[in-house]
Structure 1
Amino acid sequence: MAAPAGCCGLEVHVPMGEVLTVQGGRPVDGTVAVRGAKNFVSKAMVAALLGETPSVLRNVPEIRDVTVVTGLLGLHGVDVTQPDDGVLVMDPTDVESAHVADIDAHAGASRIPILFCGPLVHRLGEAFIPDLGGCRIGDRPINYHLDVLRQFGAVVDKREGGIRITAPDGLRGTRIDLPYPSVGATEQVLLTAVRAEGFTELRGAATEPEILDLVAVLQKMGAIIGVDTDRTIRVEGVERLRGYDHRALTDRIETASWACAALATRGQVFVRGATQPEMMTFLNVFRKVGGEFDVTDEGIRFRSPGSRLRPLALETDVHPGFMTDWQQPLVVALTQADGLSIVHETVYENRFGFTKALGGMGARIQVYRECLGSTPCRFGGAQFRHSAAISGPTALRGDDIVVPDLRGGFSYLVAALAATGVSRVQGIELIDRGYERFAEKLEALGADVDWTSTSSVPPARGRVPAHV
């Protein structure tokens, strides 16, 4: 059964409150289609608030984050329709304030409402965001966002249950230096600066492909934005913006996740819709490990070689480095490499929590507080276990697992596919935040999967899921 539909007909396709049973030990083999990037689509939807005419977003995946943002837009008076599969039309003509209780109830643990602030202050003069959740893979503080809004002249008032943002004198351009190239803070600056009075200069900006696609959307709307090679973004505020018509870039995280499933199971996956430019760093690592791939106009085919995989040393980093969201499924694949691999996580401080469950499946993974990479990172000397040593190859065996977060959860699926025996994965509905119809895709790849009710499955012991 599917969860209730969103307000424009989008559905989540994972049976809520059920367990996915995976009979592993067979190679994946087949084709999956990947659509728009989760980390871009929701932000482009928020950008529609800034326009005075309707916006059209194409290549939209059916994921829960899209359903959440659709609902939030609806609460603020934006008419969202779905005239065709993967197409959203958002009409912001009648934007209005939403009731606090409605925002809180609909957003749940999503962190998306923080990005509504700039656009809503421009349109309505105020915004309210409830207390925020998110994947617990690090502190992920919202202070970057609040500091950014204050620098634009916003007044931030902490209220019971959330934060009220106002700008009595309007939002004005400013100069901002980020201490770290935060994706979320960069998005906040872009969504706020485009209609702020005067010029804004952002130094230390994130320049991920999803950020540049958001810049493209805003430019289509009438914004004036320049991006320099030294991570400086300059915005000249404009008084009015119009709607856009844009096709979202393909999700590079989902693409890499399926590629790692091919590596770990010694199979092959053709990812329809995948494109090479934003995947180049991943493709280099995939080849170094021993994987093979073919790039076509329709997508990328990922194959595992007949020989053993090779170990490697790797550090995650902001773009154009190796993406932190690629790290978790790759760690699963590295359990099958012949030798010792080192992975140094420099983006999120607590992203190796998922390895505990892999140890229960037979993986040999040690995590360390020390920086095991070539250069010390900002977590060095702290108590965060942000480096991992993976010894392989190891024979993984099926186990009972609880999904800890979005990316870690998909990594557990990769491990379950590679493992001998049966795995029962609880909390599987969390993966639906960012992986469209993943259960159907597993079946399309020949995976032996089935659903069982949580009422008949005892809870997995010793593993507590984090909120998403």
Structure 2
Amino acid sequence: MTLNTVSSAGVPGSGGEEILAIRGGRPLSGRVSVKGAKNLVTKAMVAALLGETASVLRDVPDISDVAVVRSLLEVHGVAVSEGPETGSLLLDPANVESAHFEEIDAHAGSSRIPILFCGPLLHRLGQAFIPDLGGCRIGDRPIDFHLDALRKFGAVVEKQPSGIRLSAPNGLHGANIHLPYPSVGATEQVLLTATRAEGITELKNAAIEPEIMDLIAVLQKMGAIISIEPNRVILIEGVKSLRGYDHRSIFDRNEAASWASAALATDGEIFVEGARQPDMLTFLNVIRRMGGDFDIQEDGILFRRAGDMQAVTVETDVHPGFMTDWQQPLIVALTQAHGESIVHETVYENRFGFISALNQMGANIVVHPHGLQDGPRRVPRRMLEQAAVVNGPTPLHGADIVVPDLRGGYSHVIAALTAEGESVVRNIGIIRRGYEKFLDKLTGLGADFDVVG
């Protein structure tokens, strides 16, 4: 066939060196295992900076984001080695030291994780540096929430051509902070900073995702005093010192939901080992409404179709709502559902950039860049929101696709596996940021593909 390159998010050229040739049209069936959540593991690694003794983190996934954080910790003098069991890390912060901004910039790459080093480094060293931050092209992710919070703790913020330098000449003290939006990253920033700040910190409108609760569990093991109050309020009583922790990470519910969507999209059957019902209630409800089936077992959840899938309406929201990271893989499955599905994206304004490639493959999806006014809503409208209307079912066919971001990239791979014919998917290295042994898992599920670049 003749291949026409599709760039889903304005990615120039081939978008990277790693390329898959995928021959789709067959169900994915088998078993995959999910380890610790990327959104907890990387933050728990940073938390090790706060301890006076070594920490052990278990169920650490082998993903590139973990490698980035490991290298940043090592640049700052943290000794990182294999832990007492397979998939664990030993993190010893005994020799923490300042790092030159060129080193931080070189090791950070496109990651946004350096912003979370600020609080711990200000406590340990009295200074921190943030290079220009990257990340997935899914929308405006300003660091203003982080910097405003750090200023309230007493940090001095200096913007420089190469990045941002922070100092704490008088130490850090407790603060009253009200987030304009329950940002996960800003909540993590406050937690990591407040635990050793002098006095009490009250955080209002905090994120309460399961990964946030797991980070609080890590910090409490280290000696922190943190209370969860009603109405998204978190109280942190600062302590003078913290010790290391021994912690097994919460499972990665984003990866679990991704494999569930893959089972529905390809009409397969996938058992996700390690997935747990309590942290996926909202997702499981949507799966059941659209005609998917799941069997909850002690060691995981089995996902499959229960017959013809039906259209649904989904509104993304902060926890306990439907996660924004879940909607991209789900939209691929919705291309095979009967009727008109509507997905309201209220968290990030550019999270539908991957859809143009799906339409090139034969999907019938209309993106409304300013959202949809009509119809009942449970989640309040936001100025930045968009909506996608998915009409199905539509057969998909092969295309040449450039991966734009982590979840969009995974969704493109699943669309290619659902489609008839061959697809070329470029820039798949991005997917390794959040999916451990991705290609090995696809092989185990019966996917037919070749690595061609």
CA distance in 2, matches of 1:385, 1:434: 25
* Cα deviation, residue 371, structure 1: 3.2
Matched residue SS, 1:189: helix
1:299 equivalent in alignment to 2:289: no
> After superposition, where does 1:307-318 map in structure 2 within 5 Å?
307-318=307-318
Greater relative contact order: 1 or 2 (C-alpha under 8 angstroms, separation 6 or more)? 2
CA distance in 1, matches of 2:210, 2:197: 24
Cα pair 2:348 2:385 within 8 Å, conserved: no
> After superposition, where does 1:61-460 map in structure 2 within 5 Å?
61-83=61-83, 84-305=85-306, 307-368=307-368, 369-372=370-373, 374-375=376-377, 377-380=380-383, 386-453=386-453
* Cα deviation, residue 385, structure 1: 6.5
Matched residue SS, 2:286: helix
CA distance in 1, matches of 2:452, 2:170: 57
Matched residue SS, 2:298: coil
1:37 equivalent in alignment to 2:37: yes
Cα pair 1:23 1:416 within 8 Å, conserved: yes
Cα pair 2:346 2:385 within 8 Å, conserved: no
* Cα deviation, residue 77, structure 1: 0.4
CA distance in 2, matches of 1:278, 1:100: 38
- Give per-residue Cα distances to partners, 1:380-431, cap 9 Å, x unaligned: 4xxx561010000000001100000000000001101110010110000010
- Give per-residue Cα distances to partners, 1:58-117, cap 9 Å, x unaligned: 000000000000000000000000133210000001100011111100101100000000
- Give per-residue Cα distances to partners, 1:248-290, cap 9 Å, x unaligned: 0000000000000000010000011111110111111111111
CA distance in 2, matches of 1:144, 1:266: 42
CA distance in 1, matches of 2:427, 2:376: 36
Length, aligned pairs only: 434
CA distance in 2, matches of 1:88, 1:24: 38
The list of structure 1 runs, each at least 4 consecutive aligned residues, that deviate by more than 6 angstroms after superposition, is: none
CA distance in 1, matches of 2:371, 2:424: 34
CA distance in 1, matches of 2:38, 2:184: 13
Matched residue SS, 2:25: coil
Amino acid corresponding to residue 419 of structure 1 in structure 2: A
Matched residue SS, 2:424: strand
- Give per-residue Cα distances to partners, 1:162-200, cap 9 Å, x unaligned: 110101111000000011000000000000000000000
Cα pair 2:149 2:190 within 8 Å, conserved: yes
Matched residue SS, 1:42: helix
Matched residue SS, 1:153: coil
Percent identity (aligned)? 64
CA distance in 1, matches of 2:328, 2:380: 19
CA distance in 2, matches of 1:349, 1:229: 29
* Cα deviation, residue 353, structure 1: 1.0
Cα pair 1:367 1:385 within 8 Å, conserved: no
Amino acid corresponding to residue 143 of structure 2 in structure 1: I
Amino acid corresponding to residue 19 of structure 1 in structure 2: I
TM-score normalised per structure 1: 0.91
Alignment gaps of 5+ in structure 1: 1-15, 454-468
Q: CA RMSD in A?
A: 1.1
TM-score normalised per structure 2: 0.94
Matched residue SS, 1:105: helix
CA distance in 1, matches of 2:170, 2:344: 46
CA distance in 2, matches of 1:213, 1:265: 33
Cα pair 1:308 1:338 within 8 Å, conserved: yes
Amino acid corresponding to residue 221 of structure 1 in structure 2: M
